Chains A and B, each alone.
Chain A
């Protein structure tokens, strides 16, 4: 039996399926954009931003095996950079009431795309510097150092009155993050990461995760690769921060306390540390259920008793879920597995061979 045409057919089928799924996705986005009410749209956009955040945290934590807790800091860098660059001089004058903004920033006014890119680059640059310093540490020391760094960023943002407007924050940012921006970035970044993980760089990252000493013995520049992974992860977090700023339209340093990193970590752990598919699915599921479970914070009718609103019950649910997953199902939803068309046919949702092959 000749194997190669069979393989060829399956490959062609998979490519057709991928193109079909992409077109279907685009059509769905288009339908959603015109159909849903603004509130649903907001949640839908937040899903996309959380996908970027979860993927960028997963790159460093899941694929490179470096436990970093500094994500909130990089988001903050990105959010502030993007916001300051894209605000018009008038908006800046209206925002900086206690002390005027430094002159060299006062008249900067860039469109959204360049602002977002600069935000990503700047967050990446900060990540690169921190990486060179902190990646000499390992495990929990790295976690605490990166966490500390994100707190330092927050303290700097609070005190640099003439640049960030301090604890007053920035208000009235233009609502640039449309659904196309949010999902466009999320899809582009997902594709980028899939390609990155499949490339030789991705293999290097994974080999560092699995056994650092073996990786070094195989001639991988372990430190350089760690810094690279950390820099990319920070840059992506910065882009997500920029999108978030123009999604919320109001930012202040308090939003970026390190508990924000825990929220992202929750998504990564639930999805599976080291799975892109898992992060994407979990980001959507968690974002939607965060909204769907909002009723937990309000009055509850338990049948035998009615409770008054208990604010915070929702977060108890999510943190308990995190604990249960960590203790009973450490691999999360996906483990390190990824979605592929072949996996669908393995579980019987797609025919094992295309009809043409079967006829042959």
Chain B
């Protein structure tokens, strides 16, 4: 393998990994606060892609407006999801909350099949995103350049919110101890809603960029990326934003580099993430950057 091929794969892996990172952040934030795998996060991601598609193709509004609307509506959707499926079960056993999360995901997927039609749709990609740029022999699609940039900007904004604003401080407080936070007069429900809003907005942006990169929409398209990004969050250390980014990038690189160096393993691509998950959980269950939490009796 020469340097040029390596760079080509590097660019591809970077853009895929950044996408994974963006979605993984949503998982890690919700898990950090509610100790809940939001199984429906991958479906929120799918909704984002579809809403942008309908904005651009059916309602023929300018793409920037369609994207903004899609992000806003998906955010509302995510907040509504938390209200309807998770809030009523706040004090229930964990197994019930998990079944609710799985049920919500199941319901959204089936609704999507009914509303959006099971047949795949082609996402309209403008020339700007589709065009290939050549840098000393390495081909880079416009979208592959934009994804890492968007991820970096969003990550900076997010870190600013979490570490420099009052809301962010409240989020960290709820994540550390939900009961103590309530005693400190933090409106826990509001903070949870905000967390879901941020996570869903990131998922929507991820979904739209995913659709620009792989322009094919299907009602079940969120499942695999959703699972992989959850794995990325676990590998990085669930609850940690930096961990989610690290895990996402790691997963993107492992996936593409393995295919590049060992093409005969291409068929097993979707299994890498799960093998990585099982290995990491056995060797370092708290993930690469996770804090060790003692077991409570």
CB-CB under 8 A for A319 and B106, given A159-B267, A326-B100, A327-B100: yes
Q: In the complex, A152 Cα to B228 Cα: how many Å? A: 13
**Interface residue count on the B side (C-beta < 8 Å):** 40
- For the complex formed, measure the closest distance between the CB of A218 and the CB atoms of chain B, giving whole angstroms: 15
B271 at the interface (CB under 8 A from A): yes
* Residues on the B chain within 8 Å of A147, using CB: 227
Q: Which of B100, B110, B275 has the most CB of A within 10 A?
A: B110
Say yes or no: is A118 at the interface (Cβ < 8 Å to chain B): no
In the complex where A152-B275, A213-B297 touch, is A326 in contact with B103 (Cβ < 8 A)? Answer: yes
CB distance from B86 to the nearest CB of A (A): 10
Question: Across the two chains, which residue of chain B brings its CB closest to A214?
Answer: B297
* A320 contacts B107, C-beta separation under 8 Å: yes
Query: Shortest beta-carbon distance, B81 to chain A, in Å?
Result: 11
Task: For residue A302, give the distance in angstroms from its CB to the closest CB of chain B.
Answer: 15
Is the beta-carbon distance between A145 and B114 smaller than 8 angstroms?
A: no
Interface status of B292 (Cβ within 8 A of chain A): no
In chain B between 94 and 109, which residues have their CB closer than 8 angstroms to a CB of chain A? 94-96, 98-100, 102-104, 106-107, 109
Nearest B-chain residue to A316, judged by Cβ:
B110
| Contact A141:B234 (CB < 8 A) given known A265-B99, A273-B95, A323-B85 | yes
Residue of B104, B106, B109, B268 with most chain A CB atoms under a 10 A cut-off: B106
- CB of B268, distance to nearest CB on chain A (Å): 6
Q: Are B95 and A65 in contact (CB under 8 A)?
A: yes
Contact with B along A302-325 (1 / 0, CB 8 A): 000000001111011011101100
**A67 touching B98 in the complex, CB below 8 Å, given contacts A145-B277, A315-B110, A319-B106:** yes
B39 to A: closest C-beta gap in Å: 9
User: Which residues 133-171 in A have Cβ within 8 Å of B in the complex?
Assistant: 133-134, 136-137, 139-141, 143-145, 147-149, 151-152, 155-156, 158-159
Q: Does A181 contact B (CB under 8 A)?
A: no
Tell me the chain B residues, 220-273 only, with Cβ under 8 Å from chain A.
Answer: 227, 230-231, 234, 267-268, 270-271, 273
In the complex the two chains form, is B100's CB within 8 Å of A323's CB? yes
What's the tally of chain A residues with a CB closer than 8 Å to chain B? 44
Interface residues of A in 113-146 (CB under 8 A from B): 133-134, 136-137, 139-141, 143-145
Q: Is the CB of A145 within 8 A of B107?
A: no
Let me know if A310 and B114 touch, CB within 8 A.
yes
Contacts of A322 in B (CB 8 A): 99, 103, 106-107
Task: Please indicate the chain A residues that have their CB under 8 angstroms from the CB of B36 in the complex.
Answer: 140
Cβ B103 vs Cβ A144 within 8 A? no
Q: How far is the CB of A297 from chain B (nearest CB, A)?
A: 10
Q: Do residues B274 and A149 form an inter-chain contact, with CB atoms below 8 A?
A: yes
Q: How far is the CB of B243 from chain A (nearest CB, A)?
A: 15
Closest Cβ of chain A to B232, distance in Å, is 12
Interfacial residues of chain B within 269-297, with CB under 8 A of chain A in the complex:
270-271, 273-275, 277-278, 281-282, 285, 297
B19-46 contact mask (Cβ, 8 Å, vs A): 1 or 0: 0000000000000000011000000000
The docked-state distance in angstroms from the alpha carbon of A315 to that of B103 is: 11
Whether a CB of chain B sits under 8 angstroms from the CB of A269 is yes
A281-316, CB < 8 A from B = 310-313, 315-316
* A330 touches B (CB below 8 Å): yes
**B89 lies within 8 A of chain A by Cβ:** yes
Task: Name A144's contact: one of B95, B113, B277 (CB within 8 Å).
Answer: B277
Residue in contact with A156 in the complex, picked from B85, B88, B271, B278, CB distance below 8 Å: B271
Q: Is the CB of A141 within 8 A of B285?
A: yes
B118 at the interface (CB under 8 A from A): yes
- The answer to whether B110 touches A319 (Cβ under 8 A) is yes
Residue from the list A155, A158, A311, A316 in contact with B111, Cβ < 8 A: A316
Q: What CA separation (Å) do A281 and B234 show in the bound complex?
A: 38
- Give A133 to B36 CA distance when docked, in angstroms: 23
Question: Counting CB contacts under 8 A, is B126 at the interface?
Answer: no
Q: Are B282 and A148 in contact (CB under 8 A)?
A: no
B281 → chain A closest CB, angstroms: 6
Is A262's CB within 8 Å of the partner chain B?
yes
Task: Return the contact of A143 from the options B37, B96, B118, B278 (Cβ within 8 A).
Answer: B37
Instruction: Find B278's partner among A134, A140, A269, A320 (CB 8 Å cutoff).
Output: A134
Which residue of chain A is the closest to B273 with respect to CB atoms?
A148
A231-267 to B contact mask, C-beta < 8 Å, 1/0: 0000000000000000000000000000100100110
Give the interface centre of B100, B102, B107, B110 by most chain A CB atoms within 10 Å: B102
**B58: interface (CB < 8 Å):** no
Query: Which single residue of chain A is at the shortest CB-CB distance from B278?
Result: A145
Q: Is the Cβ of B94 less than 8 Å from the Cβ of A139?
A: yes
B92 within 8 A of partner (CB)? yes
Contact indicator B278/A316 (Cβ below 8 Å): no
Mark interface residues in B78-92 (1 if CB within 8 Å of A CB, else 0).
Answer: 000000010011001
Q: In whole angstroms, how far apart are the Cα atoms of A210 and B89 in the complex?
A: 19
Residues of B within 8 Å of A141, CB to CB, are 234, 281, 285
CA distance A322 to B231 in the complex (A): 26
Q: Are A148 and B227 interface neighbours, CB within 8 A?
A: yes
- In the complex, the answer to whether A262 meets B102 with C-beta atoms within 8 Å is yes
24 contacts between A and B (CB under 8 A): A67-B95, A133-B278, A133-B282, A134-B278, A136-B282, A136-B285, A137-B281, A140-B36, A143-B98, A144-B231, A148-B231, A149-B278, A151-B227, A155-B270, A155-B271, A312-B114, A312-B118, A316-B111, A318-B110, A323-B85, A323-B100, A323-B103, A326-B96, A330-B96
- Residues in B lying within 8 Å of A, measured CB to CB: 36-37, 85, 88-89, 92, 94-96, 98-100, 102-104, 106-107, 109-111, 113-114, 118, 227, 230-231, 234, 267-268, 270-271, 273-275, 277-278, 281-282, 285, 297
Given A151-B271, A311-B114: 15 more A-B contacts, CB < 8 Å: A67-B95, A133-B278, A140-B94, A144-B230, A262-B102, A265-B99, A273-B95, A312-B114, A313-B114, A315-B110, A316-B107, A316-B110, A319-B103, A323-B100, A326-B103
Q: Which 3 A-B pairs have the closest CB atoms?
A: A148-B274, A319-B107, A312-B113
